[in-house]
Amino acid sequence: MKIAPYVGEYVSIDIETTGLNPENCQILEIGAVIDDGTTPIEDCPTFHCYVDHGLILGEPYAVSMHPTILRRIAMKEEGHTYLQPWEVATRFCDFLKEHGIDSENEKVSVAGKNYAAFDARFLRKLTNWDKHVRIHHRILDPAAMYWRPEIDGVELPNTKTCMERADIPGDIAHTAVEDAQMVVHLIRHAIDSRRPLFSDNTVLAS
């Protein structure tokens, strides 16, 4: 272990889908935020797109949660980016390169609520995702930062519980960019709350 200031860079990623099973459900929306730990969250670089599959497959309950997304995809409302599934990986790779992250040759540090068990399984279904976007195997999940074993037992808290423990008001947006920004907010709050443990405003880094 070494002591390092919080100046690292990671990418917070969130997706909205038509269900829980990547074998028969689809990604509808992808949002990402590059966090350097210092830039105001609202000014951090963001990636956003809707994924146009042509034919929607999924679970009725999950599909019913996204009427706005489906309407935008169907009508191609102006002001948004719509990509075919095979376009997403290259466009996301280009976005990262524009901000100094070479995801094809270096592993990207990623954050996300339940990213490893959920989002990653869907993203790997996209054409050439693993070729263009190499992800570090260690994922930063804010839930671990707000886990209280005496209350939660062996289960990590959900996003709403994390927000409550961080005294962040409001509800979960269920829109990809806003949810990715919330992950950044939760991570920054957790790190800032630990800073007094170190006399020189540093945190532990592996």
pLDDT of res. 196: 59
Per-block mean pLDDT, blocks of 10 residues, the chain (206 long): 51 98 97 95 97 97 96 97 98 97 96 95 97 95 96 95 94 91 96 66 44
Residue 171 in tokens: 């509800």
Angle at CA 138, nearest 5°, toward 47 and 3? 100
CA atoms within 13 A on the CB side of 80: 23
Query: Where do the domains of the chain lie?
Result: 2-197
CATH topology of domain 2-197: Nucleotidyltransferase; domain 5 (3.30.420)
What does pTM read for this prediction? 0.89
User: What contacts 23, CB < 8 A, 6 or more positions away?
Assistant: none
d(CA 184, CA 189) in angstroms, rounded, equals 8
Question: DSSP label at 42?
Answer: G
User: What contacts 151, CB < 8 A, 6 or more positions away?
Assistant: none
